[in-house]
């Protein structure tokens, strides 16, 4: 299994969720975050914003579902401009359902 953390522009939230649902991914965790990338924030007139509002999704998928999920995320989040976001992928060694104590893997 893989955990995908996807940091995107907040205005692309609905597009990402729609794409995920169309592709069969309904389970996700969403977190509102602040951050910056290589641009180190943005300059608007005389005001400098070092940290920008972003949205982070965390999704765990089976290895065979991974390419389909990545396509849904990239298509939904992309504007073609700097600041579209990043996707981070890690292996999941173990998952446990809290209510039952059952191992998912």
Whether residue 17 is contained in a domain is answered as yes
Whether residue 19 is contained in a domain is answered as yes
Counted domains in the chain: 1
Whether residue 33 is contained in a domain is answered as yes
Cα distance between residue 42 and residue 34, in whole Å:
13
Q: For the segment 18-71, what is each residue's pLDDT rounded down to a tens digit?
A: 999 999 999 999 999 998 777 777 767 777 778 889 999 999 999 999 999 999
Quote the domain boundaries for residue 64.
Answer: 2-91
Whether residue 101 is contained in a domain is answered as no
Helices 13-22 and 66-77 meet at what angle, rounded to 10? 150
Whether residue 105 is contained in a domain is answered as no
Residues with Cβ within 8 Å of residue 70, at least 6 apart in sequence? 4, 87
CATH of the domain at 79: 3.30.70.120
Q: Can you give the pLDDT at residue 37?
A: 77
Q: For the segment 72-99, what is each residue's pLDDT rounded down to a tens digit?
A: 999 999 999 888 999 999 999 999 999 9
Whether residue 99 is contained in a domain is answered as no
């Amino acid at each position: 299994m893989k955990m995908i953390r996807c940091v995107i522009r907040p205005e692309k939230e609905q597009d990402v969720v729609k794409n995920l649902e169309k592709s069969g991914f309904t389970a996700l965790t969403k977190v509102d975050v602040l951050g910056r990338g290589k641009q180190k924030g943005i300059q608007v007139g005389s005001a400098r914003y070092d940290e920008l509002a972003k949205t982070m999704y965390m999704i765990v998928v089976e290895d065979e579902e991974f390419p389909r999920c990545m396509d849904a995320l990239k298509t939904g989040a992309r504007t073609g401009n700097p600041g579209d976001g990043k996707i981070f992928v890690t292996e999941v060694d173990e998952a446990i359902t809290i209510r039952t104590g059952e191992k998912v893997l």
